[in-house]
């Protein structure tokens, strides 16, 4: 089956932006008659047919925002949803939530559903499996504003809102060192995610600041309760086990505490543990978990405000300059250290 010609195809052949081609096809007065004629001539030659979904999205506001997230049950993402909804509803927008369950294939389906449901803009935190971002590029080509939050990609022309993951990791590990830890393990997120890279980098630099050797064998991919508990059991049984743990999220940190207890080790006397998130579970853990607050509610509010600003401004593609907003983190000290 022959592939349908898109605005991007015309733009590439003529050396124009997709926004210019789009406006030329609509006889926008800002586009010169010569450019309009060239665009329409090539469109006819290639057999271009307008994408009706895209036209509807551009011309008819549905007052709806699409939200694509990895999972709803995770406290951090539920806090983000609350922040997004507060701003959306104050501005007379509804929020349509799609959950990828950390699946790339499901995320692609979510993106298609966003198009079908004619949302005005999209907020995205992509799945762990995602390395191909062409489905998000399709949204941008259809002139749908996209804001990435928490998990972001620099290769697309889209705004970003993130926590200061590097700073959060640095202060967490620095705290463990100040509490006397010298052999600190890091339970990390996948390194295809920027949050995984940034938190590992913060861990690494805090060690170097105190002249502690960075040992690759003390870094483990363990960002779920199940993988962290198994890894902690294995590590704590070995000779010379870590006396400190910095986990990429609270559930992994709580799993470490659980494994330590099952092995007869005391927290914080035998080992100290710091998480990252400041979830409700952190305050319910025994002992209560020291963690880094990444302010999910504020992050959600800022992402939604940024998207609404883009919807109001309707910046042409050739003038678009992505904005990156960083939310500062804070260490919350509790009994686990």
CATH of the domain at 308: 3.40.50.2300
Q: In whole angstroms, give the CA distance from residue 227 to residue 187.
A: 9
Q: Does 309 lie in the same domain as 249?
A: no
Predicted confidence (pLDDT) at residue 19 exceeds the cutoff of 90: no
Residue entry with tokens 């047919």: 49
Spatial strand order in the sheet of 324-327? 94-99, 64-69, 121-124, 146-149, 159-163, 324-327
Quick: pLDDT tens for 244-279.
999 999 999 999 999 999 999 999 999 999 999 999
Q: Which pair of tokens denotes residue 234?
A: 């294995």
Task: Give how far the C-alpha of residue 12 lies from the chain's centroid of Cα atoms, to the nearest Å.
Answer: 30
The proportion of the chain whose per-residue pLDDT surpasses 70, expressed as a percent, equals: 96
Would residue 11 count as lying in a domain?
yes
Would residue 333 count as lying in a domain?
no
- Do the strands 290-293 and 272-277 form a parallel or antiparallel pair, or are they unpaired? parallel
**For residue 72, what is the DSSP state?**
S
Would residue 153 count as lying in a domain?
yes
Would residue 56 count as lying in a domain?
no
Would residue 110 count as lying in a domain?
yes
Quick: pLDDT tens for 187-242.
999 999 999 999 999 999 999 999 999 999 999 999 999 999 999 999 999 999 99
13: Cα within 13 Å, side-chain hemisphere: 16
Statement: the pTM of the whole predicted model exceeds 0.85: no
**Residue 25: Cβ-neighbour burial (10 angstroms; 0-12, 13-18, 19+):** middle
- Give me the CATH number covering residue 25: 1.10.260.40
Q: Does 211 lie in the same domain as 287?
A: yes
Quick: pLDDT tens for 304-335.
999 999 998 877 777 789 999 999 999 999 99
Q: Does 151 lie in the same domain as 94?
A: yes
Q: Does 289 lie in the same domain as 197?
A: yes
Residue entry with tokens 């080992």: 271
Q: Does 138 lie in the same domain as 103?
A: yes
Total structural domains within the chain: 3
Q: Does 258 lie in the same domain as 143?
A: no
Q: Does 301 lie in the same domain as 286?
A: no
Q: Does 125 lie in the same domain as 244?
A: no
pLDDT of residue 2: 54
Q: Does 78 lie in the same domain as 91?
A: yes
How many CB atoms are located within 10 Å of the residue 332 CB? Answer: 17
> Could you tell me the pLDDT band of residue 296, with boundaries at 50, 70 and 90?
very high
Would residue 101 count as lying in a domain?
yes
Query: What phi and psi, each to the nearest 5 degrees, are found at residue 147?
Result: -120, 125
pLDDT of residue 3: 66
pLDDT of residue 118: 85
Q: Does 176 lie in the same domain as 258?
A: yes
> Could you tell me the pLDDT band of residue 26, with boundaries at 50, 70 and 90?
confident
Would residue 149 count as lying in a domain?
yes
Quick: pLDDT tens for 134-172.
999 999 988 899 999 999 999 999 999 999 999 999 999
Contacts of 139 (CB under 8 A, 6+ apart): 111, 114, 115, 122, 146
**Residue 73: Cβ-neighbour burial (10 angstroms; 0-12, 13-18, 19+):** exposed
Domain encompassing residue 171: 165-293
Q: Which pair of tokens denotes residue 118?
A: 């004619």
Would residue 236 count as lying in a domain?
yes
**According to DSSP H, which parts of 91-215 are helical?**
104-116, 134-141, 165-178, 194-209
């Amino acid at each position: 089956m022959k592939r349908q010609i898109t605005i991007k195809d015309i733009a590439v052949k003529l050396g124009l932006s997709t926004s210019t081609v789009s406006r030329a096809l609509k006889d926008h007065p800002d586009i010169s008659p010569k450019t309009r004629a060239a665009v329409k001539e090539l469109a006819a030659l290639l057999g271009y047919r307008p994408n009706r979904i895209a036209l509807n999205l551009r011309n008819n506001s549905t007052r709806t925002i699409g939200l694509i997230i990895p999972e709803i049950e995770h406290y951090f993402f539920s806090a983000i949803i609350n922040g997004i909804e507060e701003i959306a509803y104050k501005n007379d927008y509804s929020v349509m939530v799609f959950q990828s369950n950390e699946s790339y294939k499901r995320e692609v389906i979510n993106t298609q559903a966003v198009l079908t449901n004619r949302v005005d803009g999209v907020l995205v935190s992509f799945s762990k499996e995602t390395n191909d971002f062409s489905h998000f590029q399709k949204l941008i080509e259809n002139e749908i504003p996209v804001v990435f939050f928490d998990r972001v990609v620099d290769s697309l022309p889209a705004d970003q809102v993130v926590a200061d993951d590097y700073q959060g990791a640095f202060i967490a590990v620095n705290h463990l060192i100040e509490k006397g830890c010298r052999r600190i393990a890091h339970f990390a997120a996948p390194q295809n995610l920027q949050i995984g890279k940034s938190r590992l980098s913060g861990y690494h630099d805090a060690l170097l600041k105190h002249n502690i050797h960075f040992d690759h064998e003390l870094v483990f991919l363990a960002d779920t309760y199940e993988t962290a508990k198994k890894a902690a059991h294995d590590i704590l049984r070995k000779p010379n086990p870590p006396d400190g743990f910095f986990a990429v999220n609270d559930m992994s940190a709580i799993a470490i505490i659980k494994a330590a207890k099952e092995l007869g080790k005391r927290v914080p006397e035998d080992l100290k543990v710091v998480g990252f998130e400041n979830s409700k579970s952190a305050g319910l853990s025994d002992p209560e978990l020291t963690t880094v607050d990444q302010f999910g509610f504020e992050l959600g509010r800022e992402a939604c405000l940024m998207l609404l600003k883009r919807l109001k401004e309707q910046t042409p593609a050739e003038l678009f300059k992505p904005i990156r907003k960083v939310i500062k983190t804070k260490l919350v000290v509790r009994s686990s250290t």
